[in-house]
Amino acid sequence: MANFRDLDAVVSLADQMGSDVEGPVVLMNVFTVDSKDVDALVAAWSHDADFMKMQPGYISTQLHQGIAGSTTFINYAVWESVGAFREAFMHPEFQSRINQYPESAVAFPHLFKKLAVEGHCVA
């Protein structure tokens, strides 16, 4: 089972899932795992992704691995809303799948929204 930790010391994922932010949100989930468990982590993530892509409000996901032998991964998943993510995350089927992650896995999930920064990016 993956060990969940908050990425932000001030705002937890639970706080975020209770938010009423409108519009799309991005889940950034940083994983670390022992080198012997890399394949198991990828298999568990793939199993989760199969479930999530069937849920209402899911848009897309992409898993990234650090280079040069890194055992740090980032999952980038786009959801239509906080509510859609919350419903999928809290679904009993998804909660049971969390047990399939290797014991060495540590996950730091956090929700983000796009920002507009003049001259650089649009919301």
Domain residue ranges of the chain, discontinuous segments joined by +? 3-112
Share the mean pLDDT of the chain.
Answer: 94
| Residue 34 confidence class, pLDDT cut points 50, 70, 90 | very high
Which runs of E-coded beta strand occur in 35-114?
A: 58-65, 72-79, 106-112
User: 3-112, what's its fold?
Assistant: Alpha-Beta Plaits (3.30.70)
Going by C-alpha positions, the residue among 27, 29, 26, 86 that lies closest to residue 56 is 86
76 DSSP β-pair partners? 28, 62
pTM: 0.91
Angle at 68 between CA 67 and CA 74, to 5 degrees: 25
**Long-range pairs of 40-46 with CB within 8 A, sequence gap ≥ 24:** 40/101, 40/102, 41/73, 41/101, 41/102, 41/105, 43/100, 44/2, 44/97, 44/100, 44/101, 44/102, 44/105, 45/73, 45/75
pLDDT digits (tens, 9 = 90+) for 53-107: 999 999 999 999 999 999 999 999 999 999 999 999 999 999 988 888 999 999 9
The encoded tokens of residue 27 equal: 């889940």
